Amino acid sequence: MRELLGIPLDHGLIYGIVKYGIGILIIAMIIRVFASWFRADERFAFIRFLARMTDPFITPIRRIVRPVGVLDMSFLIAFFFLLTIQALLLQALPLGW
């Protein structure tokens, strides 16, 4: 099977956009979690950028699920939600998309 940048060529452009787009969101969320552990807040432009990128996925969950002690479970729930959405979308796409 031929590949280009890790994407099989029998998969199309939409497949790559879904796979890598959601993958970038997941990585941004993980970086933001680690930054919060090291007290890097939104004074830093990079953290502000990550917040703007990930807040649309985290804020609605944060309204429903309250923190458990000092743990904010909304990141974990959003992480699994994005992984599930990515898997479902990739399975639903026909070959060539």
Examine residue 14 and state whether it is found in any structural domain, yes or no. yes
Structure token digits, residue 70 = 């000092």
pLDDT band of residue 63 (cuts 50, 70, 90) is: very high
Examine residue 78 and state whether it is found in any structural domain, yes or no. yes
Mind listing the pLDDT tens digit for each residue in 25-42? 999 999 998 888 888 877
Examine residue 1 and state whether it is found in any structural domain, yes or no. no
Range of the domain at 72: 10-92
Is the torsion defined by CA of 18, 19, 21, 23 positive or negative?
Answer: positive
Examine residue 52 and state whether it is found in any structural domain, yes or no. yes
Examine residue 3 and state whether it is found in any structural domain, yes or no. no
Examine residue 29 and state whether it is found in any structural domain, yes or no. yes
- Nearest residue to 81 via CA among 18, 26, 36: 26
Average pLDDT for the chain: 85
Amino acid at 61: I
Domain count, the chain: 1
